[in-house]
Structure 1
Amino acid sequence: MTQKYTDSNSQNSSNDLYRELSSTDNRYLESSANGSHPMDDLEVDRIIQPLSSDDFNPTLSVADTIVQMLVKLGVCNAFGVAGGAMASLWNALSNSTLQVLNFRHEAGAAFAAVEAHFASDRPTVVFTTAGPGITNALTGLFAARGEGAKVILLSACTSAPQRGRWAIQETSSYTLPSGGMFTPGALFNYAITIESAAQLPQIFRKLALGLAQPGGFVAHLSIPTGVQTSLVEGISWPQLDVAAYRVTAKPEKIAKSAMLLFSEPFAIWVGFGARHAAEEIRQLAEKTGAAVMCSPRGKGIFPENHPQFVGVTGLGGDASVTTYMEQQPPARTLVLGTRLGEPTSFWNQAMIPQKGFVHVDIDPEVPGVAYPHANTFSIQSDIKTYLQELLKYLPDTACADASSLPHPQPEAIAPAPDYPVRPEILMAAIQKIVVEGSDAVVLAECGNSFTWATHCLRFTTPHRYRVSTGVGAMGHAVTGVVGAAQAQNSKAVAIVGDGAMLMNNEISTAVKYQIPAVWIVLNDARYNMCHQGMKVLGLQGADAEMPPTNFAMIARGMGAEGVVVENESDVEAALEQAIAAKVPFVVDVMIDPDRPAPSGGRNKSLAAQGVKSTTTKKTAHQVSFPCV
């Protein structure tokens, strides 16, 4: 179904005319011209409002006009930190129909924008002032590109007459490298410094085309302080009517993939890029009897309680996947929307089926990279379109019996003293109260929080679980949860470590805007993935401990609510209180720091890359270091 993004206040919205773009050639995009490619995720159809000269008042400033362009592009939310160099732009944003959230740190604003995009499926905006405003946001924008989000950065820069004269927070080629920050490259699909209002029509076209393409799109518009207030006069705005399009494979390639898959038993490996094709994946699996596994980011796309689900692969994954590959190996594996990178596969050779992969992705450079020596039949297509065509080739024969497939099994939890809280007890309570008892989106921070949540929690629907596996920056979930909750106007829950909470949380922002975010803190007074990892590697002397912190007290000091949980018997009641709260809430859980995280696969991957451990097999624990 096509989802139209329109400005609800536009008088012309009911009369918009749209056209579909069906071409698979997106070489006209700035991103492709500079060697970058779409991320391996799939977007539902997004339609940009047509734009013409009637939409703009010639007395508007450049800043006001840029904001109008953003509204036309379907943006609803802007996250950032203001400053003097972008005062006019900040004013234009604040007096528009956009919801503008002023954050405490630009990195947090960027992470929130990423998660707001995935929660709403709309493009989002990050705004910063010059100099450190831009550099502070770079990690979050790096994550936006890595996660495949659609995010536009608006930043201020020094006006041309003042460049090279040591202006306050000077932002120019004298102080910052222009390549990659103000031009397209590895960080931005599209980037430009706006020196004149005459550039705006072409910039709008570039943005509209970029947002219409499948996959992620991260752009940077840098607006000099003086240009922000200049008037938009004498500009011709051509009619611009852009619709989202899908990348589709040639019929002969789909037919060949059907022959390869349906001739022998095969498995399905589901990644985050397949999140909009859940129904088609389920149809394919149930009609063929194929076993299904998923990446950490792909949890819930195929129900984890389904009899054909064999487990999660990679970091925090399930031993049942290994059992399946050893005891009932498929002839081939159909890979859908995952790059099969280290967090998903650990490049484990045991994951290569005898006859190789059929790998589907919108980025033609993805298939074959993770396993370059494996036989890979690659298909460039978005996942939903490919599966809709593949299902037409299904044979009439009965599907294979899936009753003997292995499944992830919850590990028995032995009785123990009520204090401190064991992480697996906490996860069981989160499963009951948050996952099954609410509709909240759940985010997990990198580190042990990632591995415990990925390993223990089970989801039966897509769009409920978010982790970052490419960048894996600390501070992503503790700030991203605010964007997720705000964008969907409902609960979002972040499972995080104490180190991440001390690094960069946005409790104050959530309080200001009364955003119903919940933080569940695994409080062990350590960077515990580092602590446990160094120990298992036999490396001594590194200090990963930190002074104990009362995060519930900090939350209350900022105007939120919070509770400290010291006993396992109190965990469920605390979570119920957090889910029922109408205000931001912190659940500060004193966890057992010595419980080994379920991350053994990462250690094997590190060993394969040359990291040596001095521990013996008898003393080694299933610990991961570092997360990604």
Structure 2
Amino acid sequence: MVSTGPFKSLARGGLLTGGEALVRALCGHGVTQVFGIPGTHNLEVYRHLAAYGIRHVTPRHEQGAGYAADGYARVTGRPGVVLTTTGPALLNAAAAVGQAYSDSVPLLVVSPGMPLRHPRLSTGLLHEMRSQTEALRGVAAFSHRVSSVAEIDAAVARAFTLFRTGRPRPAHIEVPLDLLEAAEPLGPVRLAPPVPPPVPSVREAATALSGACRPALVLGGGARTAGPACLALAERLGAPVVTTANGKGVVPETHPLSLGVSLHSPAVQKWLATRDVVLAVGTELAESDFWTVPPPLDGTLVRIDVDPDQMYAGTPADVALVGDARAVLEALLPELPPHARVPDDITTLRAARDAETAARDARWIPYLKAMRSVLAGDAVVTSDSAQCCYYGALPHLPIGSTGRYLHPTGFGTLGYALPAAIGARTARPDRQVVALSGDGGLQFTVQELATAVQLRLPLPIVVFDNGGYGEIRDEMRARGDTPTAVDLPAVDLPALARAYGGHGTRACSPAELRHALAEALDRPGPTLIVIPEETA
């Protein structure tokens, strides 16, 4: 268990306020950094952060705080924590909570709430709303309103138990604002207990995989901690590997068996449907992974997932292994034949996959190659719901086992890339971090340039500018409609970055991008690099 360490409490006479009890509980669970914006109702929480050694990062909007905490969580494997005040501040963070739920990210949002005995009828209290917990229950795994100072420990422990033992999803804790100021005598902080990961019997799965003639691996975000075991299994079986967006880079994408992020490819879908055994690890096999209705599988589907619901949701498992991916795979490997099989020749499949989108993707590929040539192997790239990301970088920007690519899949929010990059950069100041976005998505959270300036950490933001919402424009045209409300007035984005105190430039060729990116990685503060669509 984690202790609170040698931190100085502000308590008097053995009493702790709700605000200090909350900060003490976060510290006890290893929280060292939080994201948020102080407000009238949460000042008692902010009062105690420094005393417990918790660093605070102040984004310019609570949605940005949520995405930053999400990025922090994805690169560290530890929960990201958001502090908001009541009402609109909490609702501002709700989109980020929904994204974290979709992508199985451990995110804890903590807010004050209306006083314990606040009447049901409206009184006009500042930030009053009918029910914060009802609102957050719609996007989080749970929303817990405490009813005493003593209950704060239990609520925080409940959240960390969820993060450690089940599918990691966001949680919300609401502390009534009068409890934040109330003082009660408390004993030692109560912590979430360590729970060993479950390991089910792997005999049936081992039999199916050992007898497979045409095996395949599908890896999702739930396989993230099991990369070496996934690679060893693929090599042992001679099985090609395809990943979801969240599984990108679990197995190095330059490996001969890797098909990268290509479940959306008709050629890959047709190939997958003909496999006699498919092993799916930590993935929903969802429509958002295939970009269409998931194809029926002719062979045996073996699923490994910590979430038992996945065994019968969507495509049901023929062989179900409920447990931690790393533990299950490490138990499975010794049960397989010791000699590696000759892998399938997937060169033809790769060629068919690439031919499907060669004309569409040609505008991004040279720039992505330029980015790859500059970035270190362990670089972190954050992504947005933009064409340059899901059509461009997901399939065409290779990520190795030490790098990371953070993408808002499933829920598909816009504005994720910049604040997520800030969260990732504060978590890993020793690694290169680059945000990749479109001009439409960037402007959802462009104010976070100010946060990046304040932190003075090198942070390139590469933006493909197509003058609005390019995907929706293309969909309207495909329907035979006249594009409406998708063409946005031009914004001088490099000048905007400079106005915030950062740097801004344009790159009209891959060589110019390569040069600008190399400089930006060594320059304190953000550098916004715009690639005009007409030259991309």
TM-score, normalised on structure 2? Answer: 0.90
Note the alpha carbon deviations across 1:141-198, whole angstroms, 9 max, x for none. Answer: 11122221222211122324554453443435xx3364353xxx45333422233223
Deviation at 1:543, TM superposition (A): 2.7
From the superposition, tell whether residues 367 and 414 of structure 1 become closer, same or farther in structure 2 (CA, over 3 Å).
closer
Deviation at 1:353, TM superposition (A): 3.6
From the superposition, tell whether residues 500 and 379 of structure 1 become closer, same or farther in structure 2 (CA, over 3 Å).
same
Does residue 262 in structure 1 map to residue 204 in structure 2? Answer: no
Query: Percent identity of the aligned residues?
Result: 22
Checking the alignment, whether the CA contact within 8 Å between 2:71 and 2:424 is kept in structure 1 is: yes
Checking the alignment, whether the CA contact within 8 Å between 2:133 and 2:145 is kept in structure 1 is: no
Checking the alignment, whether the CA contact within 8 Å between 1:443 and 1:477 is kept in structure 2 is: yes
Note the alpha carbon deviations across 1:305-361, whole angstroms, 9 max, x for none. Answer: 21122342335xx566257448xx321101111101112124556x54422311111
Does residue 219 in structure 1 map to residue 139 in structure 2? Answer: no
- The SS at the match of 1:454 is helix
- The SS at the match of 1:264 is coil
The residue type equivalent to 2:131 in the other structure is L
Deviation at 1:393, TM superposition (A): 1.1
Alignment of 1:140-151 (within 5 A): 140-151=96-107
The residue type equivalent to 1:533 in the other structure is E
From 231, 239, 249, give the equivalent of 1:282.
Answer: 231
Alignment of 1:197-596 (within 5 A): 197-233=149-185, 235-237=186-188, 240=191, 242-249=193-200, 251=201, 254-265=202-213, 266-315=215-264, 318=265, 321-322=268-269, 324-325=271-272, 329-347=274-292, 351-371=295-315, 376-396=318-338, 398-403=340-345, 406=348, 408-409=350-351, 422-434=363-375, 437=376, 439-451=378-390, 452-461=392-401, 463-489=403-429, 490-505=431-446, 506-592=448-534
The residue type equivalent to 2:384 in the other structure is E
From the superposition, tell whether residues 177 and 585 of structure 1 become closer, same or farther in structure 2 (CA, over 3 Å).
closer
Which is worse superposed, 547-556 or 455-464?
Answer: 455-464
Structure with the larger helix share? 2
From the superposition, tell whether residues 241 and 303 of structure 1 become closer, same or farther in structure 2 (CA, over 3 Å).
closer
1:169 aligned partner: 126
Once residues 204 and 568 of structure 1 are traced to their aligned partners in structure 2, the CA distance between those partners, rounded to angstroms, is 48
Deviation at 1:225, TM superposition (A): 2.4
- The SS at the match of 2:327 is helix
TM-score, normalised on structure 1? Answer: 0.77
- The SS at the match of 1:82 is coil
- The SS at the match of 2:193 is coil
Once residues 591 and 381 of structure 1 are traced to their aligned partners in structure 2, the CA distance between those partners, rounded to angstroms, is 45
- The SS at the match of 2:417 is helix
Checking the alignment, whether the CA contact within 8 Å between 1:117 and 1:123 is kept in structure 2 is: yes
Gaps of 5+ in 2: none
Once residues 275 and 3 of structure 2 are traced to their aligned partners in structure 1, the CA distance between those partners, rounded to angstroms, is 46
Once residues 190 and 444 of structure 2 are traced to their aligned partners in structure 1, the CA distance between those partners, rounded to angstroms, is 47
Does residue 158 in structure 1 map to residue 102 in structure 2? Answer: no
From the superposition, tell whether residues 200 and 58 of structure 1 become closer, same or farther in structure 2 (CA, over 3 Å).
farther
CA RMSD of aligned residues (A): 2.9
From the superposition, tell whether residues 404 and 588 of structure 1 become closer, same or farther in structure 2 (CA, over 3 Å).
closer
Once residues 493 and 357 of structure 2 are traced to their aligned partners in structure 1, the CA distance between those partners, rounded to angstroms, is 27
Once residues 64 and 58 of structure 1 are traced to their aligned partners in structure 2, the CA distance between those partners, rounded to angstroms, is 12
From the superposition, tell whether residues 178 and 299 of structure 1 become closer, same or farther in structure 2 (CA, over 3 Å).
closer
Checking the alignment, whether the CA contact within 8 Å between 1:74 and 1:123 is kept in structure 2 is: no
Aligned pairs, how many?
526
Gaps of 5+ in 1: 12-52, 416-420, 596-628
Checking the alignment, whether the CA contact within 8 Å between 1:337 and 1:383 is kept in structure 2 is: yes
Once residues 313 and 192 of structure 2 are traced to their aligned partners in structure 1, the CA distance between those partners, rounded to angstroms, is 36
Deviation at 1:381, TM superposition (A): 1.5
Checking the alignment, whether the CA contact within 8 Å between 1:212 and 1:242 is kept in structure 2 is: no
From the superposition, tell whether residues 536 and 240 of structure 1 become closer, same or farther in structure 2 (CA, over 3 Å).
closer
Note the alpha carbon deviations across 1:461-482, whole angstroms, 9 max, x for none. Answer: 1551111211110011122111
